[in-house]
Every structure is written in C-alpha cells, then in structure tokens.
Chains A and B, each alone.
Chain A
Amino acid sequence: MSEAKCCCCESDGSFNLAEMENDTVLCRCEEVTLGTARKWIAEGYDTFDEIKRMLRVGMGPCQGRGCRDILLREISQITGRPVSELSPGTIRPPVKPIKVSLVARDYTGGDKK
C-alpha cells in the first residue's frame, strides 16, 4: 500500500478496502460473499471443489461462469500457489440449463415435447 492518505478522513484506504471487499458478493447465483469464502479457505478448504461443496459457490444456474475465476484468484492469494497450478473444479453438464420436457423420453409412449 502507498503512503497516500484519503483527503478527508486520514485513512490510507487499505484496511477499509479489505473490509469492504469481504461484503462483496463472490457468487451471485448462490449469494456467497468473499468474506465467507476467505474464512473457509483459511480453515483449510483451500481448493475450488472444497469451497464449492461447503458454500455451493459455482453450483448455481450459471455453473460458476460468474465466480470461478474470482474464487481461484482468492485461493491463490491465500495459499500462495499460482492460479495455473490450481484445479479449476469440475464443470458439470448440461453446460446450459435445459428444460426437463425437452430431453425427456416419454416412456409411456407419447410424443416427445
């Protein structure tokens, strides 16, 4: 952090920034904040899949498209391992949500709708 102080309140901004970030929503689909994820990463749940299993991060309708990279960056920062070495977790089909009736095999013999 630089030495620069805020012009009106003398704060150097660093502490508040981290606090503010903790309230930031990391996974919008499952409404999980960065702070919650950071707490569990620090508790040893320091892989994508462990955080996913604990907090459902990445299990929402977008299947992690909105949160995967942010979570991997957090894990990298806390564990000191580069993102390239982290397992990105499993991406599960169907990659885009599809309607039940579109795939259903109607085993009573009727039309497929």
Chain B
Amino acid sequence: MSWKKTADAVVIGGGMMGIATAYYLKKLGVKDVALLEKNTVASGSTGRCAASFRAQWGGELNITLGKACIDRFEHLEEHLGVDLDIERYQNGYLLVAYTDKQFEQFKKNVALQNSMGVESQILSHAEAMEICPGMCVDDAAGFSYYKRDGHADPMISTFAYQEASKKIGVRIEKFTEVTGFKVGDGCVRGVVTNKGAIATDTVVNAAGPWAGRVGALAGLNIPAKGERHEILATEPVDWGVCPTMLMSFEPDYYMFQRPHGSILAGCGPNMYRKEAAPFDDYEMEDSWNFLEHMTGHLNKLLPRTRGIRVVRQWAGMYDITPDLQPVIGEADEMKGFWVNVSGARGFMFGPVAGEMVAEKIVKGSTSLPIDEFHWRRYAEGRFLVEPSIA
C-alpha cells in the first residue's frame, strides 16, 4: 500500500483509548483520520486486560463516566453496527471490604452512587453469599454490589471498534511506530514513523503506558507510564464457580468467570513483588511469584477452584499517572497535541473517553465533563481523589 503523507488527524496507539478516539473523530466529520500502531491493534494493555467495567466508583466524575461506559457497553455492537459478539456479561461487581474503615467508605460511595442514579447496594453477608455461593469471606466487614457492572472480551470489543472504523474509512496502519514529531511555532506539524512522515496539525497521543515516552519525542512531559500487572486464566469449568466479579482493594485482588468458562484472576504487583513502588516497568514478563500468590487467593476465596487447572498466565501494563486518574486534554505548550490516557481503566473508559476527546477536538466542548482531567492539575498541586481503587 502506498504511504499517504498527510492526514487531518493522527491517533497514536491502537488500544481501546486510541481506536475509539479515531472512530469518533471520523464519525464527527474529520475527513482523513489515521491510526498508527507500532504492533497490531489490541496488542498492548487493552488485549491483556481483565476487560471489566463498573460504575461503583467513589468520585462523582468517575461515577458519571462509569455509568456512561456501562450504557455504551450494553449496546456496543448495535452502536457500532458490527456483526461481532463482544461476549458482554453483567452480574455485577461484588466489592469486599475487610475493615470497618473500608466498609464505611463503601457506604459513602453507595450513597453518592444512588444519588446519581446508580442503583448499587450495600449487602449483608447472607445476601453476598446468594450472589456468589461457595465463596469463603468470613473475614469480610461488608460488601457493596451493582448488578450492571460487568465484563466483556477485550480483544473482540477493540476489534469491534476496528471493524467499525474501517467501515467509515479510518486509515489503520499497523506495524507503524511513531519515532518523532515535527513541530513549529508552538504547534504540532506532523509525525515521523518507521514508514515515513505524515503532515498533520492534530495528533492524539493514546499510547497508554507508553504515552510518556511518546510525549517525550515531542519534548513534552506527559505524566503517564507503565506498571506491570499480572493475571491468570484457568481451563473452562462449569458455570457458577465465580458468577460475579469478586474484588477487593485491600488486599488487592479480583476474580471472575467468563461466559466461556475460564476463571480469570489478578492483583497488583505490591501483593507479590519485593521491589518498592513506584515501578517503571515495561517488561511483559509474568512471574512464578504471582502465580503462587494468586492461586493462594483463589483457593482461599473460592475453595472449589482447588482442582481446577491454570492454563495461562500473562502480564500487561497499567497506564499509571501520578494520582491514578485520567490524563486528558491538549498540551498547553503545543497546540494540536492531544493526550488521551485513562489512568489504568482504559478498557472501560475508552469508548466514552474517545468520544469526549473527539468532541473536544471537533466542537470545542464535550457532552460529559472531562476538563478536570487535564494534567496541568499536577503543576497546580491538585490531585484528584478516588477512594475506589487499589
């Protein structure tokens, strides 16, 4: 294929954040949209994640966006007009608190969520057991639950955006790595890649864990980097071993069963690694320590998993930012250089964050609030506070 040397907008990164941004830019009328991916679409964090979505957040902004994301995932195939099944499954997140302090926070979160139209609940031990029979949580202080939280297939969901984008004419260039930028008079003028240069006045850096590195190529300091997180999958087993997303922030773990039958389970690196945080870790290596630790949690929480076999384990990266909240907006130092980084929730936020960034670029305003996420907040000493993260 011949190389086209210009574009009206270039999106960097073929994860959920990037592919959704490219799709909505084109949808909102930008004529020539190019998406550049150094490997293949869904090969980064998005294709390695647990692909869960929730509205059970503790901050207003996240609840608003989380709710919008659930609305979108519930109708994603129709919304995109594609003949794929993203294997969405909704039977809630069952969040487990192990201390009274955590449980008090859950109660506050649920009150706020309820006031915003998210019908989450505080559950008793008996009610929680009904949702996830067979779990062993005698040491829990309490639970919260929202039935519309759920999960989907990360790859097929991203490919659904890829197929929809191809249909409306987004140019998707795989094995195309951005290696530099052309800039002038405080504006971005183009990108340089291993395949050639593209002149453009609008760039969206959606490189997730690599967004800091991509920003540095333009001389910008984008506060986003990678932190390795591991996950395992068991062989498919009968339905019902873990029918909800069972999750705790402290200790940090999550586990759930996919419609396909596999149980997926993961946790953060602080649970099994000896090095001190912060990690700045771009190796996708998986570890024995993780396997040993995580299977221990599985056995304890779901004793029925003892005889089940682990068939795979792998690692991906969280795209982390200083307050673990999204970093979104146009660089103050460089006109036309946009950033769309999720803060380690890019699967669920991608479909909405992508649309909001596209709206902001095309119309100058957005239908949902994202302005708070600009990273100039760090320079101003403002950190966003979200209680519902590990």
Residues of chain A having any CB pair with chain B under 8 Å: 44-45, 47, 49-50, 53-54, 56, 59-61, 63, 90, 92-94, 97-101, 103-108, 113
Most buried by B among A56, A90, A93, A99: A93
A30 to chain B, nearest CB (A): 9
Q: Which of B40, B42, B156, B299 contacts A100 (CB 8 A)?
A: B299
Q: Which of A49, A106, A108 contacts B40 (CB 8 A)?
A: A49
Closest Cβ neighbor of A106 among chain B residues: B296
Complex contacts, A105 vs chain B, CB 8 Å: 292-293, 295-296
**In the complex the two chains form, is B309's CB within 8 Å of A92's CB?**
no
22 chain-A/chain-B pairs, Cβ below 8 angstroms: A44-B166, A45-B159, A47-B40, A61-B311, A90-B314, A92-B313, A93-B313, A94-B291, A94-B312, A98-B309, A100-B295, A100-B298, A100-B299, A100-B306, A100-B307, A100-B309, A100-B310, A103-B295, A106-B299, A107-B293, A107-B297, A107-B300
Complex contacts, A49 vs chain B, CB 8 Å: 40, 43
Complex contacts, B6 vs chain A, CB 8 Å: none
**In the complex the two chains form, is A53's CB within 8 Å of B300's CB?**
no
Complex contacts, B306 vs chain A, CB 8 Å: 99-101, 104, 113
**In the complex the two chains form, is B292's CB within 8 Å of A103's CB?**
yes
Q: Which of B280-297 contact A (CB under 8 A)?
A: 286, 291-293, 295-297
Q: Which of B126-179 contact A (CB under 8 A)?
A: 155-156, 159, 166
A59 and B155 alpha carbons, distance in the complex (Å): 13
B252 to chain A, nearest CB (A): 13
Residues of chain B having any CB pair with chain A under 8 Å: 40-43, 47, 155-156, 159, 166, 234-235, 260, 286, 291-293, 295-300, 305-314
Closest Cβ neighbor of B309 among chain A residues: A97
B381 to chain A, nearest CB (A): 39
Q: Which of A47, A53, A98 contacts B310 (CB 8 A)?
A: A98
A56 and B41 alpha carbons, distance in the complex (Å): 15
Question: What does DSSP make chain A's interface, helix, strand, loop or mixed?
Answer: loop
**In the complex the two chains form, is A104's CB within 8 Å of B292's CB?**
yes
**In the complex the two chains form, is A50's CB within 8 Å of B40's CB?**
yes
A108 and B311 alpha carbons, distance in the complex (Å): 25
Closest Cβ neighbor of B286 among chain A residues: A93
Asked whether A99 and B307 contact (CB < 8 A) given A53-B47, A93-B313, A108-B300, the answer is yes
A108 and B237 alpha carbons, distance in the complex (Å): 26
B344 to chain A, nearest CB (A): 21
The 5 closest A-B pairs by CB, nearest first: A53-B155, A97-B309, A104-B295, A101-B306, A105-B296
B256 to chain A, nearest CB (A): 15
B177 to chain A, nearest CB (A): 16
Closest Cβ neighbor of A90 among chain B residues: B314
Please give 20 more A-B residue pairs, beta carbons under 8 A apart, in addition to A105-B293, A107-B296, A113-B306.
Answer: A44-B166, A50-B41, A53-B42, A53-B47, A53-B159, A61-B311, A63-B311, A63-B312, A92-B313, A93-B313, A94-B311, A94-B312, A97-B309, A99-B306, A100-B299, A100-B306, A100-B307, A100-B309, A101-B307, A104-B296
B170 to chain A, nearest CB (A): 13
Complex contacts, B310 vs chain A, CB 8 Å: 94, 97-100, 103
**In the complex the two chains form, is A94's CB within 8 Å of B305's CB?**
no
A103 and B155 alpha carbons, distance in the complex (Å): 29
Q: Which of B41, B159, B286, B299 contacts A104 (CB 8 A)?
A: B299
Closest Cβ neighbor of B260 among chain A residues: A56
A63 and B291 alpha carbons, distance in the complex (Å): 18
A35 and B139 alpha carbons, distance in the complex (Å): 51
A81 and B312 alpha carbons, distance in the complex (Å): 29
